[in-house]
Amino acid sequence: MVTVKVPAKINLALGVGPRRDDGFHPLATVYHAVDLYDEVRAEPASDSTISVRMHHEGVENAIVPAGEDNLAVRAAHAIRDFIGVDDGVELAIRKTIPISGGMAGGSADAAAALVACCDLWNCAIGREELERLAAELGSDVPFLLHGGTAMGDGRGEQISPVLARGSYLWVLALQNHGLSTADVFTEFDRRTAGQQLGAPLVPDDLLSALRSGNAEQLGAALTNDLQVSSLALDPELQGVFDVGRECQALGSVLCGSGPTVAFLASDEQHATDLAVALAASNVCADVVTASGPVTGARHFS
């Protein structure tokens, strides 16, 4: 039996370009892994079946596809096809990462399932090949193998290092409803129709804030091109941003396509104050504090 734990991600910057012919959008993003974890356990099955069971803590009425569509199941199939065996596996996922929250929960489980199945089946796969399989599963999956703070180019799947100092304290405002990533990108297309969108970029001031490890500069430089579109689909999110501003968060940014919002706090006390204010304001379903960066999918005992 193998257990792998995998973090959630937030995007410190998310630049989006015009829709490509393959339907995806070019991205220039800075991913940042935070210590909110899912755990994926892999056990040999008695036959060749690949199955998954989900246990989700926190959010009520969560619906998680637990069949063949599930990204973790697809990850297990990818490793099995790569090795060329027909062993079965029982995957059990303990979820803490919000579902459809913009924090890549499904992609995280896929990254963890890749690592767990490789280990269970003693798969001698190279790093590059593993990253290729990860990219086929989803745009965010390669980053969840790495973790830390890293650039994502292409449709988000091409990962490269950024020089990043320091550790950061985040307050995350969670909702008990999700936002569909595909719907948010469609709204982005609608809003930008007729505009000449250039190639997406990560702002220099964000990279320089990360190089120097300056939390105030980082807070001021957080940016997400999907934010306006997500707010258009979910206008009540504005109330979440308003609370963060009133509590002098160093910065705020939507996580991916939302609806989770991340606030940067200056210290533990500030994080507690922010969390209390958010919880008291009824603008979100739950509040958690998290710190980053942390490593990607790793074995856990």
Tell me if 143 contacts ligand C5P by CB under 6 A: no
Q: Per rule CB under 6 A, is residue 181 in the interface with ligand C5P?
A: yes
Of the two residues 11 and 139, which places its CB atom closer to ligand C5P in the complex?
A: 139
Q: Give yes or no for residue 80 binding ligand C5P (CB under 6 A).
A: no
Q: Is 182 in the site for ligand C5P (CB under 6 A)?
A: yes
Q: Name the minimum Å distance from CB 141 to ligand C5P.
A: 8
Nearer to ligand C5P, 25 or 270 (CB): 25
> 11, 70, 139, 289: which one contacts ligand C5P (CB under 6 A)?
139
Kindly tell me which of 182 and 280 has the beta carbon lying closer to ligand C5P: 182
Rank residues 143 and 168 by Cβ distance to ligand C5P and give the closer one. 143
Name the nearest CA neighbour of 112 among 172, 70, 156: 70
Active site residue 81: no
* Window of 22-30, 221-229, 238-246, 279-287 that interacts with ligand C5P by CB under 6 A: 22-30
Whether residue 140 lies in the annotated active site: yes
Burial of 195 (0-12, 13-18, 19+ CB in 10 A): exposed
Q: Which of 38, 109, 140, 234 is catalytic?
A: 140
Q: Report the alpha-carbon distance of residue 194 to residue 204 in Å, rounded.
A: 27
Nearer to ligand C5P, 47 or 69 (CB): 69
Residue of 185, 261, 264, 296 that binds ligand C5P (CB under 6 A): 185
Q: Is 156 in the site for ligand C5P (CB under 6 A)?
A: yes
**222 token code pair:** 């957080």
Q: Considering the rule CB under 6 A, would residue 9 count as an interface residue with ligand C5P?
A: no
Q: How far is the CB of 246 from ligand C5P (least distance, A)?
A: 32
Neighbours of 130 (CB within 10 A): 20
Residues designated catalytic: 9, 140
- Binding residues (CB under 6 A) for ligand C5P: these are 24-25, 27, 138-140, 155-156, 181-182, 185
